Amino acid sequence: MRRWLPLALLLPGIACTPPPGPEDTSPDASLAGLPVPSAADGHGEPSSAPLAVSSPGPLPGASHSAALFEAWQRTAAEAGTDGGVAGTAEAALAPPPLPAPHDATAEDAAVARGEVPALSIDPALDDLAQPEEEEAAPDAEALPLPEQLTVIPDELHPGEELVLGPDGEPLEDMGLVLEDVEPGAEPVGVDVDAGTDLAPHAIPFAPDAGSLRVRRSIVVRQEPRRDAPPVGTVAQDMRVRWRGDTAIRGPDCEAWVQIEPRGWVCERYLEPNFREPRVRELPKLREGELTPGIYARVVGKRVRAYPSLKLARARRRGVLLKGSVSVQLRGQVRIRRKTYWRTTDGQYLEARVLREYRPSSFEGVDADAIAELPPTFAWAQSRTRPTAHVEVRAAPDARAARETVLPPRTLVAVKALSDDGHWVSIAEDHWVARDDLHVAWFSHAPPQVEPGARWLDVDLDAQVLVAYEGERPVYATLISSGKQGTDTPEGLFRIWIKFAEADMTGSGTAGNETYRVATVPWTMFFQDDYALHTAYWHDRFGQPMSHGCVNLSPKDARALYAWAAPQVPVGWSMVHATEDAPGSWVRIRGQARPTGKARKVAVAATRVGAP
């Protein structure tokens, strides 16, 4: 729930609300005031309608805010950078080159994963708060969660389970294990040295078919050939519509079919369906969920994961887990007095070694809220004690009388700065320490940003992200950037690929510590393996926490994922930026401040099955 300073303190700084802009014509703009994809037309192309916000114009309170910002910069301990605007923008000119295709004997599903980058991890798990409760005894029995996931025994393969898809057929896991991908892998039976002759071909489906069912997650190509640049990936079991009256026959595919809303797919991955097209937003959320499903971290020493339930019961062939491991849970099975959880990659773990994450419910402010806020506003949150209340003094002096205290992340007006730059006036006779505020400084677009284009501005010093359409701020929120030693890169970049969900694995910066974080939702890569993405494992937004990426709360990540370019068609699990559909610009500027040692409080995780 968003916290606000009492109205009496905000009113003096509230600017007049500009006239409303054009009405939002997108099918659904319920997500934090941002347009979200709609499948109403059956094509799965998300809306790109403008936001229903105030009309464009100069930045709100520009002159007063500019004076405040100048004073703020002048009294800053260390000056940050402009995010590369004044220099070249080499890192933003093109996405990293992809590896050249090579021969492979992998299953044809590898085609759908051939362009996935190798990732560095961004879990910040070592700093997570530990639960205050005592560890369960070895024979303790885990209680089932109130809402259990469905697991169906596989009669053909005893000890294994099936998960049914939307059509009642076995559904394979869609999670990507990014480190295991073979870039450029080709389908079985394809002659990689074949020619490129293409010829028109009749659509190989009955004319009365209502849609084409995607048999497995597959890459969509820009042109009807296997070496064409990828557009994205459409998820398994989606029903799509084809375009045109003819397909294209080539040496690598009997018939390339053009699908809605764009791109080409080989017909071997499609099958006719007499029902209408059906796609859904990915990742799929149940009503009331912040993240898709349940996530947990593995605790204890010498914990093993088992490839099947039978082997788990026998405690055989278990894989010893090393480092910090987080998993997404797919279902649970109770055998005698023990409960086992199945993860999205098909492994089994005892429930007693898992601690469930409770994702943050924090969210930023959208364009409508920004229009009602003062020209310059901030979140009140201590950098050294982020969960503590923020003290408000009667004068810019730590010895002055305490007027009140503010809950963390209360929104306040920024009205004036003390002469020494250490205190900020939020109302008459109400002063807050500068280090206890995270100010949303509105800024002009870099010259590289096209007029009216959507772009993101990340202020590392304030730990604040502001989303813009041209010069107009439409969203602002707190983020967590890289910790000291694993800094987030400064500069001007472009989003080059987006994933509905992505596994992240890698090594830490100190020692030989390894990490694995499962199915991170709403991930947008902007520079090599640096990304903006959900952090379901902590609630310390406003404080550097990551290994270099930009952490967002689930609500913020979902909203910005749907809003930022390139747009993701509904039913697609991944999309590439292209020359015709480039990604949004991301400017990262300033310098993150070192923070004090965080207190150990139980805010991040609880035992799976605990009430």
Q: Within 13 Å of residue 410, how many CA atoms lie on the same side as its CB?
A: 25
What torsion, rounded to 10 degrees, do the Cα atoms 161, 163, 164, 170 define? -70
Task: Look at the alpha carbons of 339, 342, 343, 344 in this order and tell me if their dihedral is positive or negative.
Answer: negative
Query: What does the angle CA 400 – CA 403 – CA 407 come to, to the nearest 5 degrees?
Result: 120
Two structure tokens written together for 171: 């559904």
**Distance between CA atoms of residues 357 and 324, nearest Å:** 14
Centre a 10 Å sphere on the Cβ of residue 283 and count the other Cβ atoms it contains: 22
Query: Residue 575 in 3-state DSSP?
Result: strand
Confirm whether 389 is a catalytic residue.
no
Which strand (E) or helix (H) includes residue 73? helix 62-74
Q: Are residues 175 and 499 in contact, defined by beta-carbon separation less than 8 angstroms?
A: no
Centre a 10 Å sphere on the Cβ of residue 472 and count the other Cβ atoms it contains: 24
Q: Please pick, among 43, 201, 438, 533, the residue that the annotation labels catalytic.
A: 533
Two structure tokens written together for 212: 């084409």
Q: Are residues 343 and 333 in contact, defined by beta-carbon separation less than 8 angstroms?
A: no
Task: Look at the alpha carbons of 250, 252, 257, 259 in this order and tell me if their dihedral is positive or negative.
Answer: negative
Minimal CA–CA distance to 275: which of 240, 324, 323?
240
Confirm whether 549 is a catalytic residue.
yes
Pairing of strands 423-427, 430-433: antiparallel
Provide φ and ψ at 327, rounded to 5°. Answer: -130, 155
What single string gives the DSSP state of each residue in 148-166? PPP-EE-SSSTT-EE-B-T
**Distance between CA atoms of residues 461 and 459, nearest Å:** 6
Q: Are residues 554 and 51 in contact, defined by beta-carbon separation less than 8 angstroms?
A: no
**Distance between CA atoms of residues 587 and 84, nearest Å:** 8
**Distance between CA atoms of residues 495 and 456, nearest Å:** 10
Minimal CA–CA distance to 581: which of 250, 308, 203, 263?
263
Q: Please pick, among 43, 201, 549, 576, the residue that the annotation labels catalytic.
A: 549
Catalytic annotation, residues: 533, 549
